[in-house]
Amino acid sequence: MQSSSDRPIITLLTDFGSLYPAQMKGTILSRARNAILVDVAHDVPSQDVRAGAFALMTTVRHFPEGTIHLAVVDPGVGTDRLGLVAESGGHFFVGPDNGLLIPAARSMGSPEVWMIDPNFAEGAAPTFHGRDVFAPAAAMLASGARPEAFGPRVVPANLDFGKAERFKDRIEAEVIYVDGFGNLILNTDEIPWDHVEISGRKLKRVKTYAEAGGVEPLITIGSHEFAEIAVNGGSAKDIFGLSSGDRITLERGNCSE
């Protein structure tokens, strides 16, 4: 955990674009002036909770214990969905109760989760809880508040990316994230064969993108430790016409080729 002499670190992840995060940062700094604010991403696809959850999950492990992760991708803002504060593995998580926080919190340990009392931020704009509820909560944590101060423990809404199904000569998987390069990240952490095909098209198995030729489809284990389909110098999303949530079949290729 952080010592009291350390400056608190707060990461921010949203689908808000370039304008609204500044208002969240101003709210935090008005309450915790010495906080270190780190932008994870503000270009998560609009209202795509699963994409936000994946981005958060693959980021949090690179930060030190005591970091506060503020994440807001919130299609249900202003409804009766809860706001949450969670603690796991020495990290803190703040955001809506729609599954966004849970894969990241689970990746760090066994999460404990508390609701943010609905009266925590009276007068909050019903369309901007990121600024008026979650940013103040993150600032309170940065100033030493404990998660249990926000409300009672709750069982949060769950979200997971499922598991690919492996058969003798094929893997039934799902695209769980599409990054800015058009790479397709799958819900499997293994590539069991040296020769792989998708929809009859060969994928070169590589350790790094440059091992493939120009505009050549490839498959690798990415830095996030999931299998990904990519195209050296191109976009796998465009070539294969796939998006997050699509199911795919990886097939064992002909080893004589």
CATH code at 203?
2.40.30.90
28 and 104 together in one domain: yes
**Residue 219, by phi and psi: left (phi above 0), alpha (psi -120 to 50) or beta?**
beta
**Do the beta carbons of residue 71 and residue 52 sit within 8 Å?**
yes
Q: What is the per-residue pLDDT for 13?
A: 98
Task: List, for the chain, all residue ranges whose pLDDT scores fall below the cut of 70.
Answer: 1-5, 255-257
Region label for 192, one of left (φ > 0), alpha (ψ between -120 and 50) or beta (otherwise) = alpha
Quick check: is 108 in a domain? Answer: yes
Domain containing residue 28 = 9-149
Stretch (H or E) spanning 7: none
**Does the pTM exceed 0.95?**
no
Looking at the domain assignment, is residue 170 inside a domain?
A: yes
Whether residues 39 and 119 fall in one domain? yes
Tell whether 257 is covered by a domain. no
pLDDT of residue 118: 92
Residue in this structure with the two tokens 């020769």, named with its chain if needed: 195
- DSSP secondary structure code for residue 24 in this structure: H
pLDDT at position 5: 55
Structure tokens at 180: 């800015």
Among the listed residues 35, 88, 100, the one whose alpha carbon sits nearest the alpha carbon of residue 61: 88
Euclidean distance between CA atoms 126 and 60, whole angstroms: 28
> Is the torsion defined by CA of 122, 124, 129, 133 positive or negative?
negative
What is the CATH number for 35?
3.40.50.10790
Q: Is residue 51 part of a domain?
A: yes
pLDDT at 201 (0 to 100): 92
pLDDT value for 164: 96
User: What is residue 42's predicted lDDT score, i.e. its pLDDT?
Assistant: 98
Residue type, 195: H
3-class SS of residue 29: helix
Question: Length of the chain in residues, anyone?
Answer: 257
Q: What are the residues whose beta carbons fall under 8 Å from the beta carbon of 2, sequence distance 6 or more?
A: 8, 64, 65, 66
In terms of domains, do 144 and 58 share one? yes
Grouping H, G, I as helix, E, B as strand and the rest as coil, residue 130 is helix
Maximum pairwise Cα distance, the chain: 68
pLDDT digits (tens, 9 = 90+) for 185-201: 999 999 999 999 998 89
**Are residue 128 and residue 29 in the same domain, yes or no?**
yes
Beta strands in the chain (DSSP E): 9-14, 36-41, 68-72, 83-88, 91-96, 112-116, 165-166, 170-178, 184-186, 195-198, 201-205, 217-221, 227-231, 247-252
Number of domains into which the chain is organized: 2
For 49, which DSSP code? H
For residues 70 and 89, the answer to whether their CB atoms sit within 8 Å is no
